[in-house]
């Protein structure tokens, strides 16, 4: 099979554009900054630049939540999610610095000391235009940051975290207006104000289009309903979803949707689940393990239940492939996108290999289907389960090279729990597989 040319990721270009925008913000600050004569001026100008950069990053934070297909499908949902989390952390740090430095500078100008920053903050919120809204928005940002801390997030139900996280939109809206009304840079330079309105306007339009209007159009057009629920293994079910002209949704093997089932107790929950089979003209399928309230209730769905979906999302598709040979690695219910790719990736006999990791052979969901696919395609199918005494199987670099002597010539797609994915990634790198040919994606955002 001839070598397949990989598609270039736009990630590097996008990052260059982001840094160019940050440089433009710095340039605006420099252009509108007069000579600084005293300490209060220096502190206030430090507050100005941190505020400008925070405002710029807030727009990017919202853009990364907009589900823009060019980002989701080419860059990848996992990378966009990482960018979103990183941008959020930087934004919070800049907001804290902006508030403290600005209020400190105001206090010094009023002849007060740094100990009077709290009182100065209260006075500014009470007296300056749009500062009340900014204070509420800042409080929301701190709340969202708090529940996103790893230890806190693990203790909060996913639905609660997800819906609180959506308050980011309100927080950014509330903090935007004081940037225009109290920002010296925008008063001095009208073109900068026009650009700022344009930046936030474009981001708002993208959110409205891709997070509201596009899902409405998709669901009105395809009218999806539950056709059947099938128990694959104890605790794992497949949900068959029918609808009109589903092949026109553009979904590919390896992608996922956010699913909302309009059944009692599930209407307000939206969760990401991968397709576990290649999309059919009138049928989609997901396979889900019961690991939470939402996933556990899927087995109770009845045929005819209306389904609301958003997507398709994700870049872990055949377009990422750059070699003729492919290794698919699945851990637990991570088999779902791998099963779809195992069925659809082009390849001659022996080109496609699937390694399936589970605790026991009884946990190998969809195994009979995988075996049929392997036989029909001449593909290799392997599993790795714990020994009878509970010892974990060896998935090391040496073991992988033993099973696939030419593993460094493979593209690798993998899906599974974070710890499993990390250990397999390290083993693959140790076996000589370049990082650019190891494709992994998580679907939490």
pLDDT confidence tier of residue 3, bands split at 50, 70 and 90: very low
> Is the model's pLDDT at 34 over the cut of 80?
no
pLDDT confidence tier of residue 333, bands split at 50, 70 and 90: confident
**pLDDT digit string, tens, across residues 112-142:** 877 788 888 998 999 999 999 999 999 999 9
- Segment (H or E) for 167: none
For residues 235 and 328, which has the higher predicted lDDT (pLDDT)? 328
Q: What is the mean pLDDT of the chain?
A: 90
- Is the separation of the CB atoms in 414 and 439 below 8 Å? yes
**pLDDT digit string, tens, across residues 160-190:** 888 899 999 999 999 999 999 988 888 888 8
> CA 230, 250, 222: angle at the middle one, nearest 5?
65
**pLDDT digit string, tens, across residues 366-410:** 999 999 999 999 999 999 999 888 889 999 999 999 999 999 999
Q: Which two tokens stand for residue 64?
A: 């990364």
The count of C-alpha atoms lying within 13 angstroms of the C-alpha of 410, restricted to the half-sphere facing its C-beta, is 26
Instruction: Give percent of the chain with pLDDT exceeding 90.
Output: 60
Report which of 100, 182, 85 is spatially closest to residue 133, judged by C-alpha positions: 182
Q: How far apart are CA 410 and CA 412, in angstroms?
A: 6
Exposure of 149 by Cβ count < 10 A (0-12 exposed, 13-18 middle, 19+ buried)?
exposed
Residue 5 is predicted with a pLDDT of 42
Q: How far apart are CA 271 and CA 261, in angstroms?
A: 10
Range in 71-85, 90-104, 223-237, 314-328 with the lowest mean pLDDT: 71-85
Report which of 137, 121, 131 is spatially closest to residue 58, judged by C-alpha positions: 137
Give CA separation, 195 vs 1, 142, 144, 200, 298, in Å: 50, 27, 28, 9, 47
Give the helix, strand, coil percentages of the chain, each rounded to 5: 55, 15, 30
pLDDT confidence tier of residue 36, bands split at 50, 70 and 90: confident
- Is the separation of the CB atoms in 10 and 74 below 8 Å? yes
Average pLDDT over residues 193-200: 95
Label the pairing between strands 283-289 and 271-274. Answer: unpaired
- Is the separation of the CB atoms in 240 and 230 below 8 Å? yes
- Segment (H or E) for 347: none
Report CA 53 to chain centroid distance, whole Å.
23
The string of DSSP letters for 274-332 reads EBSS--BTTEEEEEEE--SHHHHHGGG--TT-BEEEEEEE-S-SGGG--SSEEEEEEEG
Average pLDDT over residues 9-14: 76
Q: How many residues does the chain have?
A: 445
> Is the model's pLDDT at 6 over the cut of 50?
no
Average pLDDT over residues 304-331: 91
> Is the model's pLDDT at 445 over the cut of 50?
no
Residue 2 is predicted with a pLDDT of 37
Label the pairing between strands 283-289 and 236-242. Answer: antiparallel
Report CA 172 to chain centroid distance, whole Å.
19
pLDDT confidence tier of residue 40, bands split at 50, 70 and 90: confident
**pLDDT digit string, tens, across residues 77-116:** 778 888 998 999 999 999 999 999 999 999 888 888 777 8
Q: How far apart are CA 252 and CA 321, in angstroms?
A: 14
> Is the model's pLDDT at 4 over the cut of 70?
no
The count of C-alpha atoms lying within 13 angstroms of the C-alpha of 43, restricted to the half-sphere facing its C-beta, is 17
Give CA separation, 131 vs 17, 88, 122, in Å: 31, 21, 10
For the chain, give the longest Cα–Cα distance: 82
Q: For the whole model, what pTM was predicted?
A: 0.82
**pLDDT digit string, tens, across residues 245-296:** 998 898 999 999 999 999 998 988 889 999 999 998 889 999 999 887 888 8
Give CA separation, 303 vs 262, 285, 307, in Å: 12, 14, 11
For residues 56 and 2, which has the higher predicted lDDT (pLDDT)? 56
Q: How far apart are CA 63 and CA 61, in angstroms?
A: 5
């Amino acid at each position: 099979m001839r070598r397949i040319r990989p598609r270039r990721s736009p990630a590097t270009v996008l990052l260059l554009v982001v840094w160019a925008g940050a440089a433009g913000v710095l340039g605006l600050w420099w252009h509108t900054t007069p000579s600084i004569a005293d300490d209060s001026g220096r502190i206030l100008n430090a507050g100005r630049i941190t505020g400008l950069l925070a405002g710029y990053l807030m727009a990017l934070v919202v853009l990364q939540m907009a589900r823009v297909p060019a980002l989701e499908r080419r860059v990848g949902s996992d990378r966009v999610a990482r960018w979103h989390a990183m941008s959020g952390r930087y934004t919070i740090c800049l907001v804290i610095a902006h508030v403290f430095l600005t209020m400190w500078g105001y206090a010094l100008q009023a002849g007060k000391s740094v100990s009077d920053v709290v009182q100065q903050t209260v006075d500014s919120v009470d007296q300056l235009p749009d500062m009340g809204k900014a204070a509420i928005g800042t409080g929301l940002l701190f709340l969202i940051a708090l529940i996103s801390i790893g230890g806190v997030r693990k203790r909060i139900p996913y639905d609660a975290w997800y819906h609180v996280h959506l308050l980011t939109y309100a927080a950014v809206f509330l903090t935007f207006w004081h940037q225009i009304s109290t920002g010296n840079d925008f008063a001095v330079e009208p073109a900068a104000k026009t650009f700022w309105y344009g930046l936030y306007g474009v981001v708002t339009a993208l959110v409205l289009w891709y997070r509201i209007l596009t899902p409405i159009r998709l669901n009105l057009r395809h009218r999806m309903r539950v056709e059947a629920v099938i128990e694959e293994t104890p605790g794992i079910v497949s949900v068959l979803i029918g609808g009109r002209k589903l092949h026109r949704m553009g979904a590919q093997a390896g992608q996922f949707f956010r699913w909302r089932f309009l059944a009692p107790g599930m209407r307000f929950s939206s969760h990401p689940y991968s397709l576990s089979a290649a999309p059919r003209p009138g049928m989609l399928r997901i396979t889900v393990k019961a690991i939470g309230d939402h996933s556990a209730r899927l087995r109770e769905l009845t045929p005819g239940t209306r389904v609301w979906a958003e997507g398709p999302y994700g870049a872990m598709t055949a377009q990422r492939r750059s070699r003729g040979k492919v290794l698919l690695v699945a851990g637990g219910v991570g088999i779902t996108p791998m099963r779809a790719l195992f069925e659809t990736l082009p390849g001659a006999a022996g080109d496609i290999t699937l390694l399936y990791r589970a605790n026991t052979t009884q946990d190998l969901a969809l195994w009979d289907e995988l075996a049929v696919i392997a036989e029909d395609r001449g593909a290799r199918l392997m599993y790795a389960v714990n020994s009878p005494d509970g010892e974990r199987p060896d998935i090391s670099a040496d073991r992988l090279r033993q099973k696939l002597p030419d593993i460094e010539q493979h593209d690798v797609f993998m899906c599974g729990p974070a710890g499993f994915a990390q250990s397999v990634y390290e083993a693959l790198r140790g076996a000589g597989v370049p990082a650019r040919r190891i494709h992994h994606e998580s679907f939490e955002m």
